[in-house]
Amino acid sequence: MTENQTRGDRVDRLARALTEVGAPWVLNIVSSLFLGVYLESTAWGIFVAMISGGLPMAFILFEIWRSRIGDHHVTEHRERHLLIVVILAIVLAGLVIQICANAPAELIAFTAAGFATLLAIGIITSVVRWKVSVHTAVSAGITVILMLAVSPIWVLALACTPAIGWSRVRLGDHTTGQVIVGAFVGAVIAGGTYALFT
């Protein structure tokens, strides 16, 4: 193996690690739990983590088991349509429960922001027929929400979004345009929805 091949393998491993750590379900679960603890409402944080990350990933794994989805990042465009509808239904049901049960406003806003962002991604995916990056949408969106909900210092975490975007392009799962648009959609729609609900 040549030196260039070895270096390329290391870069690919780094890209794969960033893609896994920055996966939407991971970021949703971690940020939901963090917000729950921060707001002294751990139980609701767990609930939001379940509807935003746990149940969606469980459905993806179920569909992989049924051979309807090829991988847990759902890299094939045609496999995303039904998945987005199912996740939207899960999140909407969770949002209704939160509202009816008087969950903390910040966590209601977090769920609403996730729903609005995924709805926008769904429109781009199914109507525009373009595979926009959910990874960068979630990363940018959550960062803006944490800036609004916790502290402006979270702006530093925006550096994670281009790193995650690079990993998606490096692995051949998205184009540069798709990761940029994903980040823009996430930051604007998630941030705007969160601000509107709070």
Residue 34 structural domain: 3-197
Supply the pLDDT for residue 101: 98
Supply the pLDDT for residue 1: 52
Summarised one tens digit per residue, pLDDT across range 11-54 is: 999 999 999 999 999 999 999 999 999 999 999 999 999 999 99
Query: DSSP string of the chain?
Result: --HHHHHHHHHHHHHHHHHHHT-HHHHHHHHHHHHHHHTT-HHHHHHHHIIIIIHHHHHHHHHHHTTSSSSTT--SGGGHHHHHHHHHHHHHHHHHHHHHTT--HHHHHHHHHHHHHHHHHHHHHHTS-----HHHHHHHHHHHHHHHHT-GGGGGGGGHHHHHHHHHHHTTSS-HHHHHHHHHHIIIIIHHHHHHH-
Total domains, the chain: 1
Q: What contacts 176, CB < 8 A, 6 or more positions away?
A: 165, 169
Summarised one tens digit per residue, pLDDT across range 131-188 is: 999 999 999 999 999 999 999 999 999 999 999 999 999 999 999 999 999 999 999 9
The first and second tokens of residue 46, run together, are 């767990």
Angle between helices 176-185 and 160-170 (to 10 degrees): 150
